[in-house]
């Protein structure tokens, strides 16, 4: 997932998150212990008390977050049964392990600010990986059309027999974040060893995102071995620089797909993203139906230089420091709003989590129609900093620089502020807010202000220096994929069918709850190709399978890899039969 946020990959993790990889989300667990007492405290307020006399009965709560029945293929039912049985064998597990291990052993690192392909030699690391795939998946490479886009982008087309059906598009990326030399000796097993310890495959990229590449290709390879011929076309699109924002990979693949298939041409798009999380005693699969936007804003203060023995009251660095403090003391105010992905997540927890406190449950279930109930939920959950960061627009001052020498006054100082923009906000609203925050401080230090190309102070007015705000890059919040459409229902039914097929001897039930990714995946380039884009790869089952992501000791559980293959197999077969 994107280089700045590895939190979840699914719900809220700081993707990536650190969106951190797809792991059990912790904030509701932290909140659960205090929720009951906090709500009791709220009961003393007459303005809050009415929500607990809400007409919404607890017994009807499932209507709030209806669950699809398990959806197993019908026309290909016998094939599906054969394949799920095959996946359960040790021989198949070892086949999958061997494929992921071999993929991990080929470094394909992405760095910030890489030069053009053909000039920057670091891009050459992709070629051995691409060549390896051709030999590792022979049927895929003889049966599917492969188009290489911008040298290393891979577009596979498995042509279906019915050209009138919108294709299914499965995405992944095969680049990885670098392994710093300073931490190379800290790994339990070498970072590019692909070592298998009998349970986990170790190495950089084992989770993010070579497991996604291998699970999709092995799914197609085995279906080809079984002589399956699709009715609906299946397209695979693999980027090679997602960890550096994806401009060279997905940024070229998406236009190529648009040129070939046209706008809104795909029935469904799936990319890396959410897995599962246990919340309030319930197990939830968490497909992300949207992503936050972002804006990187550079703030620069310029003042006259001079010798440091005769300093002004405030140097450019001091002014910038004051401005940073001012920003942090006036952070964006988060609010919980209905008709947002996170609100849908909460509704599903209230409807299906068995251990959620009763008063919190009632408040959530009443919140759609009761502003008082919504504020009660908000008052509790926004106390948790992780939940707060997921719900609202955030800001983080991540880079600061200024000055060149100890005895020279700094003529320039700058900071880079990263915003993650809430789904109901916008880039313009975020930038407007930043500009307004600079006015008072600029007047205090007698600085002229130019914000995003607009002069905010009187032209020609005398000033000691200047303050400018410029954007480095921006992205609007992603369109929200509908959770009441056939594509989402097919995805939800597939998730439940996969879980029941793999865990058939267990009593655990799984519920599907739409949610939000705080970071960004390569889907940022694919918005025009489908209204149904989901970030979900079934990559974390019952909280197991994920090691550290983007850091030392990344590893991936073999059993989870096999379950991912079962999921993508079920999805391809279900999509082949569905009316989408």
Tens digit of pLDDT for each residue in 293-337? 999 999 999 999 999 999 999 999 999 999 999 999 999 999 999
Do 254 and 397 share a domain, yes or no? no
Q: Is 271 part of any known ligand binding site?
A: yes
Around Cβ 130, how many Cβ atoms within 10 Å? 19
50 inside domain: no
Average pLDDT over residues 283-296: 96
Q: How far apart are CA 111 and CA 124, in angstroms?
A: 13
Helix (H) or strand (E) holding 359: helix 358-366
Which has the higher per-residue pLDDT, 554 or 56? 554
Which has the higher per-residue pLDDT, 34 or 220? 220
175 assigned to active site? yes
Give the domain extent around 215.
77-112+120-273+524-577
Around Cβ 272, how many Cβ atoms within 10 Å? 30
Q: How far apart are CA 377 and CA 368, in angstroms?
A: 11
576 assigned to active site? no
Whether 155 shows a pLDDT value over 70: the answer reads yes
1 inside domain: no
356 inside domain: no
Q: Supply the DSSP symbol for 168.
A: E
Do 304 and 264 share a domain, yes or no? no
Residues whose CB falls within 8 Å of the CB of residue 119, separated by 6 or more in sequence, listed in order: none
Do 195 and 223 share a domain, yes or no? yes
Domain end position, chosen among 444, 475, 506: 475
Domain end position, chosen among 442, 475, 508: 475
Around Cβ 30, how many Cβ atoms within 10 Å? 15
Do 134 and 227 share a domain, yes or no? yes
Quickly state the pLDDT bin for 459 (edges 50, 70, 90): confident
The number of domains in the chain is 2
Average pLDDT over residues 557-577: 97
Residue 62: its pLDDT value, please?
Answer: 54
Residue 518: its pLDDT value, please?
Answer: 85
Whether 569 shows a pLDDT value over 50: the answer reads yes
Whether 532 shows a pLDDT value over 70: the answer reads yes
454 inside domain: yes
Do 222 and 310 share a domain, yes or no? no
Please write down the HEC assignment for all residues of 171-199: EEECCECCCCHHHHHHCCCCCCCCCECCC
Whether 34 shows a pLDDT value over 60: the answer reads no
294 closest CA partner among 424, 527, 429, 474: 474
Average pLDDT over residues 360-389: 94
165 closest CA partner among 25, 252, 257, 266: 266
Residue 23: its pLDDT value, please?
Answer: 35
Whether 6 shows a pLDDT value over 90: the answer reads no
- The CA dihedral of 437, 441, 443, 447, to the nearest 10 degrees, is -100
Domain CATH code at residue 404: 3.30.70.360
Query: Could you report the per-residue pLDDT of 485-517, keeping only the tens digit for each?
Result: 999 999 999 999 999 999 987 778 999 999 999
Backbone angles phi, psi at 356, to 5 degrees: -70, 135
Which has the higher per-residue pLDDT, 109 or 2? 109
Do 218 and 258 share a domain, yes or no? yes
Residue 109: its pLDDT value, please?
Answer: 98
68 inside domain: no
Whether 57 shows a pLDDT value over 90: the answer reads no
Token pair belonging to 468:
């400018």
Average pLDDT over residues 550-557: 92
Do 266 and 303 share a domain, yes or no? no
Residues whose CB falls within 8 Å of the CB of residue 95, separated by 6 or more in sequence, listed in order: 218
185 inside domain: yes
Q: Is 131 part of any known ligand binding site?
A: no
Q: How far apart are CA 546 and CA 295, in angstroms?
A: 29
Do 459 and 554 share a domain, yes or no? no
Q: Which one of the listed residues 2, 109, 175, 344 is annotated catalytic?
A: 175
Do 450 and 573 share a domain, yes or no? no
Average pLDDT over residues 376-405: 95
Say if residue 397 is exposed, middle or buried (CB neighbours under 10 Å; 0-12, 13-18, 19+).
middle
Query: pTM for the full model?
Result: 0.89
Whether 9 shows a pLDDT value over 80: the answer reads no
Tokens 């919504």 correspond to 374
Residue 13: its pLDDT value, please?
Answer: 32
Domain CATH code at residue 201: 3.40.630.10
For all residues of the chain together, what is the average pLDDT?
Answer: 89
Do 251 and 314 share a domain, yes or no? no
Terminal-residue alpha carbon distance, the chain: 28
Residue 519: its pLDDT value, please?
Answer: 86
Q: How far apart are CA 335 and CA 405, in angstroms?
A: 44
Tokens 């008709």 correspond to 339
Quote the strand ranges of 393-498, DSSP E.
394-402, 412-421, 447-451, 454-455, 465-475
Q: How far apart are CA 243 and CA 176, in angstroms?
A: 6
Residue 277: its pLDDT value, please?
Answer: 85
Average pLDDT over residues 284-298: 97
Whether 372 shows a pLDDT value over 50: the answer reads yes
493 inside domain: no
510 inside domain: no
Do 205 and 325 share a domain, yes or no? no
| Most distant pair of Cα atoms in the chain: their distance | 85
Is 476:427 a contact under the CB 8 Å cutoff?
yes
> 270: cis peptide before it, omega within 30°?
no
Q: How far apart are CA 178 and CA 288, in angstroms?
A: 26
Whether 43 shows a pLDDT value over 80: the answer reads no
Residue 2: its pLDDT value, please?
Answer: 64
Q: How far apart are CA 287 and CA 285, in angstroms?
A: 6
Whether 20 shows a pLDDT value over 90: the answer reads no
Domain end position, chosen among 437, 457, 475: 475
Around Cβ 360, how many Cβ atoms within 10 Å? 24
Q: How far apart are CA 343 and CA 368, in angstroms?
A: 9
Quickly state the pLDDT bin for 40 (edges 50, 70, 90): very low
Helix (H) or strand (E) holding 557: strand 555-557
Whether 133 shows a pLDDT value over 90: the answer reads yes
Residue 19: its pLDDT value, please?
Answer: 29
Whether 4 shows a pLDDT value over 70: the answer reads no
CA 387 → CA 68, 118, 262, 384, 503, distances in Å?
Answer: 27, 44, 38, 5, 31
Query: Which of 42-51, 146-155, 436-445 is predicted most confidently?
Result: 146-155
Query: Could you report the per-residue pLDDT of 94-132, keeping only the tens digit for each?
Result: 999 999 999 999 999 999 999 999 999 999 999 999 999
Q: Which one of the listed residues 109, 209, 241, 242 is annotated catalytic?
A: 242
Do 124 and 263 share a domain, yes or no? yes
Residue 547: its pLDDT value, please?
Answer: 55
Q: How far apart are CA 202 and CA 196, in angstroms?
A: 6
559 closest CA partner among 575, 546, 574, 578: 546
């Amino acid at each position: 997932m994107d280089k700045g946020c590895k939190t979840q990959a699914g719900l809220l993790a700081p993707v990536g998150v650190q969106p951190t990889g797809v792991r059990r989300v912790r904030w509701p667990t932290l909140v659960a212990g205090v929720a009951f007492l906090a709500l009791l405290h709220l009961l003393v307020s007459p303005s809050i008390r009415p929500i607990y006399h809400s007409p919404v009965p607890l017994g009807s709560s499932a209507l709030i977050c209806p669950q699809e029945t398990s959806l197993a293929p019908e026309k290909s039912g016998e094939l599906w049964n054969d394949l799920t049985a095959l996946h359960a064998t040790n021989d198949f597990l070892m086949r999958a392990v061997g494929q992921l291990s071999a993929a991990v052993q080929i470094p394909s690192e992405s760095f910030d600010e890489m030069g053009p392909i053909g000039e920057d030699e670091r891009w050459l690391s992709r070629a051995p990986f691409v060549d390896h795939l051709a030999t590792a998946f022979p049927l895929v490479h003889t049966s599917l059309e492969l188009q290489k886009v911008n040298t290393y982008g891979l577009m596979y087309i498995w042509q279906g027999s019915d050209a009138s059906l919108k294709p299914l598009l499965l995405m992944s990326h095969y680049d990885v974040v670098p392994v710093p030399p300073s931490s190379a000796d800290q790994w339990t097993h070498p970072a590019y060893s692909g070592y298998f310890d009998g349970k986990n495959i170790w190495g950089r990229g084992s989770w993010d995102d070579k497991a996604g590449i291998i699970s999709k290709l092995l799914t197609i390879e085995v279906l080809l071995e079984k002589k399956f011929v699709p009715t609906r076309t299946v397209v695979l699109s693999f980027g090679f620089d997602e960890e550096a924002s994806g401009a060279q990979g997905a940024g070229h693949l998406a236009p190529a797909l648009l040129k070939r298939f046209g706008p809104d041409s795909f029935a469904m798009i799936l990319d890396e993203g959410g897995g599962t999380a246990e919340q309030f005693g319930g197990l939830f699969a968490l497909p992300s139906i949207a992503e936050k936007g972002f804006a990187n804003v550079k703030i620069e203060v310029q003042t006259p230089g001079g010798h440091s023995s005769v300093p002004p009251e405030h140097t450019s660095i001091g002014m910038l420091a004051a401005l940073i403090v001012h920003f942090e003391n006036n952070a964006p105010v988060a609010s919980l709003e209905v008709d947002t992905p996170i609100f849908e997540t909460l509704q599903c927890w209230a409807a299906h989590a068995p251990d959620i406190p009763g008063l919190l449950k009632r408040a959530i279930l009443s919140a759609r129609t009761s502003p008082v109930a919504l504020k009660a939920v908000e008052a509790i959950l926004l106390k948790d900093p992780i939940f707060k960061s997921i719900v609202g627009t955030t800001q983080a001052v991540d880079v600061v620089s200024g000055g060149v020498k100890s005895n020279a006054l700094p003529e320039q100082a700058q900071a880079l502020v990263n915003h993650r923009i809430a789904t109901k906000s916008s880039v313009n609203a975020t930038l407007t807010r930043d500009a307004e925050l600079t006015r008072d401080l600029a007047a205090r230090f007698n600085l002229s202000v130019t914000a995003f190309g607009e002069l905010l102070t009187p032209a020609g007015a005398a000033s000691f220096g200047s303050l400018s705000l410029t954007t480095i890059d921006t992205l609007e919040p992603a369109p929200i994929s509908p959770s009441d459409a056939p594509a989402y229902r097919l995805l939800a039914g597939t998730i439940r069918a996969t879980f029941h097929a793999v865990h058939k001897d267990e009593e655990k039930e799984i519920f599907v709850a739409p949610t939000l990714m705080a970071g960004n995946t390569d889907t940022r380039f694919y918005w025009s190709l489908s209204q149904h884009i989901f970030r979900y790869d079934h990559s974390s089952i019952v909280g197991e399978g994920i090691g550290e992501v983007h850091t030392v000791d990344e590893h991936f559980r073999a059993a989870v890899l096999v379950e991912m293959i079962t999921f993508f197999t079920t999805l391809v077969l279900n999509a082949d039969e569905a009316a989408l």
